[in-house]
Homo-oligomer: A and B are copies of this chain.
Amino acid sequence: MEKVFVTGAAGFIGSNLVDRLLAGGKHVVGWDNFSTGQREFLASASANAQFELIEGDCLDLSALIRAMEGCDFVFHLAANADVRFGLDHPHKDFQQNAVATFNVLEAMRANGIKGIAFGSTGSVYGEAEIFPTPENHPFPVQTSLYAASKLACEGFIHAYCEGYGFEGYIFRFVSILGERYTHGHVLDFYKQLLAHPGHLKVLGDGAQRKSYLYIGDCLDAMLHVVDRATAKQARHRVEIYNLGADEYVQVNDSIRFICEALKLKPRLEYSGGSKGWIGDNPFIFLDTKKIRATGWKTTLTIEQSIIRTLQWLQQNQWVLQRR
């Protein structure tokens, strides 16, 4: 892994990864269509001579093929990550996740690139039956277009590994927190509390249990797995890892952490029901034995990650205006 192609390079996870790869001495080609990516996130990367930014869309296969030329590994992080509003525009998940990933695989094949790391989601387990949920959970039933489209991506990556000798590293994330976080409940709550400090609307009953992971820990895990695997002679064709914390919190816990940090005591108004929205998973808690067995561990608790995210949002309020 010397010259790395990163899709979604201007996104939350992508831009943090770009910085890490550059710090590790890699050449990095960043690819983003800036539909949700932020140029500001690539400010420091852009000052590095080892970084090249190419603006483009994964739906444009021929541009993607040209852009990947000379790279030897792909981190595919570009995605429609708008889980909650999938039902408003089902084409978006299908195009930006399933079709985009298929194009990434085809562009790799055209360039003779064999290694891919992919950001999938713990949502592919649907409403899981086992907690914490292991990677080999029973055949899942999808509950959201987002997860269905990510599952489609996983399947195609498997098939390319089997059929074309690709090496795939699939990471099923819980929600990621930390610097450059641009959407999710911490941002929603903070935005509401800035507008009306005495009142907070909460989707669902607040009892939803969710695991989260700090961006630094997420990147540690991905880079650890890929470095370790690419250093080996005998590689697996597909390695699949859950990435999450070894704990979960309730939405109500998260509200408490945020309100304590902001020194606010808002009146809470719950929309009610066990799910925040159609397709929401009221309990997400992944079994991370497999990734921990490689020696990786988290450095921040969920509470610390939430506070870190909140602090970053406080220092980067421009992000609140971007959506």
Contacts and interface: CB of A to CB of B under 8 A. Distances in A.
B144 A162 contact: yes
Count of identical protomers in the assembly: 2
Given A98-B98, A136-B138, A139-B138, A155 B163 contact: no
Contacts of A156: 94, 142, 145, 148-149, 152
A144 B163 contact: yes
Nearest to A172: B139
Nearest to A109: B90
B158 A148 contact: yes
B141 A158 contact: yes
B148 A155 contact: yes
A131 to B, nearest CB: 15
Which of A125, A135, A137, A139 counts the most chain B CB atoms within 10 A? Answer: A139
Interface string A51-85: 00000000000000000000000000000000000
Interface string A91-111: 100100011001001100100
Interface of A: 86-87, 90-91, 94, 98-99, 102, 105-106, 109, 125-126, 135-145, 147-149, 151-152, 154-156, 158-160, 162-164, 238, 240, 278-279
Listed from nearest, the 3 A-B pairs whose CB atoms lie closest are A152-B152, A148-B155, A142-B158
